[in-house]
């Protein structure tokens, strides 16, 4: 499968402050996003995620390295023709209505009148803004602005969609809707590159991820290869027994009333805990094994780096 984005040894320094001091933001980033996949780009705040995206879009000139978007150098404005972009905390002309704003973005792609009207209608329906389409954007809530932002990113029916924190500021229902839209992109053959702080969302929909820490890619690969099925520990909630009864069997995380939340790291001790509860006439309220999640990998990678 061809690459939708190919970034090779990307470097960027900023000189900031009154007496300029050089700060290395990107320290040689290399990764590729394959066509048709959903790619998650993770990293703590200030790791260089947004700087990478800005380099990709030509908003920032890299000091070194090459970027190719669907086989074209990112420096040519034509490379942005098959591309849709939703910025983090989208800012738009707030005196325009969503319909006017979409018409304006359609003009930047030179769409014909009929095609423009048709697409605006479909996109407003897709992001659920039909009823608010003729309100000025300054009256929109953050979640609604995010939807308007998503609609403008799709106005050119892009092959590659770049979303910077698309789920930020959304309520749980809104997040689910956006997640569904992203998955639908994949079904339509589009490539999605997105950053998010909400790791469960990334875990739910991404095919591959890259983790950036301190301007370097520290992990990259298919989600199923990164996240193993290994059981990390088993959590048990028990009632009717004091925490001291479990000494040596597991770590007591919290005790409330007569309930004890227990974390058992050694799988062989799970049976012993169950025997103890039965023997001492306690009650087992829940028992759940916790497998490794993307969050575990993320926290471990960031702390180690």
Partner 1 sequence: MKIRAIAGITFKEAKRDRVLYLLFFFAALGIVASRVLALLTVGDRIKIIKDVGLASISLFGVLMAILIGTGLVYKEIDKKTIFTLLAKPLHRAEFILGKFLGLVMTLFVMTLTMSIIFLAIVFAHTLRIEGALLVAVAYIFLELVLITAVAILFSSFSTPILSSLFALGFYLIGHLSWGLELILKKMAPGAGRTFVRALYTVLPDLENFNFKTEVVHGLAIPPAIYLSSFVYGLCYTVFILALAILIFRRRDFI
Binding site for partner 1 (CB under 8 A): 14, 54, 57-61, 77-81, 83, 85, 87, 89-93, 95-96, 104-105, 107-110, 149, 152, 156, 162
Side-chain-side CA neighbours of 170 within 13 Å: the count stands at 26
The C-alpha atoms of residue 218 and residue 235 are separated, in whole angstroms, by 30
User: Least separation, in Å, of the C-beta of 95 and partner 1?
Assistant: 6
Nearest approach, Cβ of 206 to partner 1 (angstroms)? 22
Q: Are 151 and 84 in contact (CB under 8 A)?
A: no
Least CB distance to partner 1 at residue 170 (A): 19
**Tokens representing residue 166 in the block:** 């698309």
Kind and range of the H or E run holding 31? strand 21-34
Nearer to partner 1, 104 or 245 (CB): 104
- Give residue 17's region: left, alpha or beta (phi > 0; psi -120 to 50): left
To partner 1, the closest distance from the beta carbon of 51 in angstroms equals 8
Q: Of 168 and 243, which has the nearer Cβ to partner 1? A: 168
Nearer to partner 1, 116 or 208 (CB): 116
Q: Provide the minimum distance between the beta carbon of 75 and partner 1 in the complex, in angstroms, as a whole number.
A: 11
Task: Specify the residue, 13 or 305, whose C-beta has the smaller distance to partner 1.
Answer: 13
- Cα separation, 239 vs 274, in Å, equals 12
Q: In whole angstroms, what is the distance from residue 36 CA to residue 18 CA? A: 45
Name every residue whose Cβ is closer than 8 Å to that of residue 113 and which is 6 or more positions away in sequence. none
**Which of 52/234 has CB closer to partner 1?**
52
């Amino acid at each position: 499968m061809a690459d939708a984005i190919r970034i090779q040894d990307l470097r960027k320094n900023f000189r900031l402050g009154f007496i300029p001091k050089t700060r290395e933001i990107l320290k040689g980033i290399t990764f590729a996003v394959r066509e048709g996949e959903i790619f998650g780009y993770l990293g703590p705040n200030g790791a260089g995620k947004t700087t990478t995206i800005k380099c990709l879009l030509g908003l920032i000139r890299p000091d070194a390295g090459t970027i190719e978007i669907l086989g074209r150098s990112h420096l040519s404005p034509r490379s942005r023709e098959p591309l849709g972009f939703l910025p983090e905390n989208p800012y738009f002309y707030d005196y325009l209505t969503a319909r006017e704003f979409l018409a304006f973005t359609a003009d930047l792609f030179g769409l014909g009148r009929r095609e423009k009207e048709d697409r605006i209608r479909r996109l407003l329906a897709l992001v659920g803004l039909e009823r608010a389409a003729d309100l000025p954007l300054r009256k929109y809530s953050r979640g609604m602005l995010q939807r308007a932002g998503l609609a403008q990113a799709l106005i050119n029916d892009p092959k590659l969609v770049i979303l910077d924190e698309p789920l930020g500021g959304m309520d749980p229902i809104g997040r689910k809707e956006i997640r569904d839209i992203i998955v639908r992109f994949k079904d339509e053959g589009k490539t999605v590159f997105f950053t998010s702080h909400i790791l469960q969302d990334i875990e739910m929909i991404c095919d591959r991820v890259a983790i950036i820490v301190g301007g370097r890619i520290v992990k990259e690969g298919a989600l199923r290869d990164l996240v193993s099925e290994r059981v990390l520990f088993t959590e048990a909630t028990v009632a009717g027994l004091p925490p001291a009864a479990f000494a040596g069997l597991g770590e007591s995380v919290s005790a409330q009333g007569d309930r004890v939340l227990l974390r058992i790291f050694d799988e062989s001790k799970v049976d012993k805990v169950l025997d103890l509860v039965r023997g001492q006439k306690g009650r087992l309220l829940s028992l759940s094994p916790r497998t490794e999640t993307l969050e575990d990998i993320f926290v471990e990678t960031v702390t180690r780096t």
